[in-house]
Structures are given as C-alpha cells and as structure tokens.
Chain A
C-alpha cells in the first residue's frame, strides 16, 4: 500500500473511495494502527455522519468534509474544522449568500436555500453572485475552534436535476443528448444506487423502431455504442440496458427520468 510506503499522514479523495480503501485494508489483514494516516479530507459527493464514523474507525483517522466548485477555485472554498460541525467558508476570498431559488431574493441567516458565491479576489474570471444550485444553510455562530468564519451545512440537495455519481456531475439532459445524437427517441431512465460504497449507474433505454433490427449482434453493437458515447460525454461508465417500449414508469404522462436509490 502506497500510504504505508510513503508514510502518508493525510488522505484526500471521495468518501466512497476512502470507505473502499478501508475495506481493502481489512481484507488484507491491516488494522488502523498499521498505517500512518492521521486525517482525511473527503468531498465531491454526498456522505453521511454514519459513513464518517465508519471511515474514521476503519482507517483510524479524523475525517473532514470539504466543499469546492470548479468555477470558483476547485477545492478550498470551505473546510471543516476540528469541531466537525459544518464547513467554515473562506470568507476572505468568497462572499456567501443564501437565496430563494425561485424569487432569487436573499434569505436571512439560518434559512435553507440556494448557496450563492461572489469571488472577492479572482482575476480574469470574475464571479458575482454565482448560483451553485446547491441547497444548503449558512450559520454565523461562535465555533469551538475559535474561528468566526461563516459556516455552511452539508449541501442537502440541488435546485436543478444534477446528479453526482462517483463524484462526477451528471445532468439527465446529457443522456438525452447522447440518445438524440444516435438518432433515438429519448425514452430513458437513470437508476443510481450505492453497492459496497460505490455508486452504480444504470441507464435504461426503451427500444425504438430506429434502434431495432433483426440482427442481435447489431443491436448489441448499438447498445455498446451508447455506452461508449455516454462514457465520452460524462467521463464515467454507465450500464446501458434495453427495455420494451413504454416500460419506464410514467407519472402524469411524464416518464420518471431519475431513480436515486442511494441511502446517504
């Protein structure tokens, strides 16, 4: 294990990868005392307090949450402190506000709404009241760590339909684009689940006359092409399965596009 060879003391990755490392360690017969790691900084996807406790126990570390946005500075927008109760926003660089996503009005402190950032010292790529689409809450309270920077809670959801799968942002419209580019109707459903701490990503597509042929090898080739195109578009692999027409659940005539079974 690299962490041992290099005597690494801090691990930075997605929480699901950290959980995976913990499991692998157990399988290989290593305990938390066998590795030099002291702390972990985990972000880019949603994770729960239970998952934090689990990672802390198996790796023998303190696990901290981190929040960032590629458009602002990447990681480094907000970090958890030793109190592990919300992330301090680096207010000397970013002004944070919570707005009502519908009216765009700024909401008072402690309200749940969409997080908006203004970058104070960014050059060449200014950001003024940039809407993150992340739904969350800001509180300015005296922290036990002594810092006075405003704290943000873990994002609770999105104001748009973006999904985060294996740490990658996925919009249902991207799947639609791939289907349309291949000349198929966009009758699809995304099913996301988490199995053994890893997100599973299934795209179910209803068969159309354009996709169908009497040649089973050709249909499989079209299925593979969709999978390859999705990988090229999203950067992560999806399992594409073909369903009978009209088999995707519809609610009030509209197909249900996303089924997220992950329990976080």
Chain B
C-alpha cells in the first residue's frame, strides 16, 4: 500500500500541471489565512464562526449549493473568455462589457422578440462576439493594444446597454406591473419560454436557483479545451499567442486569428451574461457599475493558469466562498471575501515564484527520501 502511494506521488509530481496546481492551492491557502486574520482584527470573538461560514456554508444545504452552482456557471464563462484569449496571447480585460452585451441581447430577444431560451442564448453569444470583435479588429489592423480598447468598450457597453434598456419600456419591470422602473422585467412575467429549463433539478435541490446552466458551462469548457489542444485551429491560435512572427512566417493569418480569438472570447462572456439573466431569478438593475462577474473572470482564469478544465474548478471555488461570504453577514461585511479573492489573485500573479518554491520543496523531499533509503 505504502509503495503504491509512493509510486503515485512520483508519477503525479512529474506531471507538468502538478506544480501549477500546487501553486494555486498554496495561493488559496494563504488567501484564506489572510482572510481569517482580517476576521480576527474586526471581531475576534466571531472570527472562527466567520471563517467556518466561508468554508462550509456552500455545502451546508442543497439550496446553498444550488446558489454556488448558479453563480459558478456565468463565472466559468467569463473565466473561459479571459483564459481562452490569454492562451492565444491576448489580454481580454473586456469580459465585463461583453457580458453586458450578452445580457442585453438575451433580454431583448427573450422579451421583445419572445425568443425561447436557447435562441436567446445564441443572441447573447452574438452580442458578446460583436463586443469582443471590436478590440480584436483594432489590435489586428491598427495595432492598438487590446487592453486599452477593451477597457473603453467595457464603459461604452455599460452605458449603451443602460440607455437602451431605459428606453425600451417593454423590457422593464414596471411594464408588467412591478413598482421599480430601474429594473428589467421578471422573466416569468415577460416570457416563460425564455427561462433556462430546470429539468426538475429545482425540486430536487429545493432551490429556484437550480437549472441546467452549470452543465452548459461545463460542456463549453470541455469544448474549449478540446479546440485549444486537439484542433489545427487551436494550434494556430496558440502559435500566434506564443510567437506572432514565427506564425506569420509559417503562413498563418495572424490578423484573422486575433480577430477570431477575440470574437470567441467575447461570445463566451456574452453567453455567461445570457446564462445569468435567463435564469428567471436575476433581474438587471440599471446602474453605473461595471459587471463584477466579468472582472471576476480574470481571477478565475489566473487561478486556473488559463486551463479550461481548471477554470471549471476555480469558478466553483470562487463562487463557493462568495456564497459563504454572503452568509457571514451581518456579523461581517461580505466584502471580506472580495479581499480574500484579491489576495489570492495577487498571489497567483506570483505563481511563478510559488512554483519555484514548490519545485525546491519537491526536490528536497526527493533527496531526503534518497538519503533515508539504503
């Protein structure tokens, strides 16, 4: 038995992704410890309670777990958006704006055109794709850095969506008799067919949050993984990301690939917006705030070192501690979880350093093992 474990450890530690995994795990651990220290500083007597809320609430009931899945689905999508672009050498900081456009197209087509949910989701992808294409075109044809344009398009997207929504009475809640004119309509009043189906999961989990969106997100993550690693298209995209000059010299159309890559990234984020706002439980409030779901795609992707399969788990994790963070109210502000997440991002940015340390530790344990052996 012991020998088997040793062998397993040996094969595991030589896997290329293993160090990245440990580095992310270390970042998470340190982030949580830091969060705990904050809790101690704010309210020492409740700190253990606070931490346990963060750590266990997500699993405490089927309903809470549904909430975790419900938020994780769009997070996976924005994480994929950032991660996919990153694998192809682009920093898509515009997931937030693409997510907004996705939301808008989903709501508009679902309510005004009375599209069923799947058609509305396709419209959401289209909206995100158009918004992703903009920075891609600027980068490919005018060599404008995509970070700058995608930040600009986040704001343009936000205000464009707000203005549009505010001027389309039919999509707003008060049109259906509700009292708040600054919110979008409740889907069950506007178009039941546009609500993502629940397949009985809602009764099973005893939560209205539960629907099939998490499965759609996971399937898309697997597809993206497949495209990146097994297709000639993915091979070309990654080659451009790693070395644009060599790709051009190999006859790859780098400009086209930059645009395509941003279109796909945008459509993924847009799909996330559709998933969230077609759930039947979410209503968009017209505000001057960029969608955090879009920005949280960045830590999700970072934590997973942009690996699409890893993104599924990092999104689940981030969503999990967010649900926990909400549950520690009112003793603590839920923003503590945001701080924990930022510490984790900060550390994942140092993942190279962490990887180096982990490599040393593994080596030391290996030589220590050798010395013990006869």
Q: Do A and B come from one complex?
A: no
On A, residues with C-beta under 8 Å from B are none
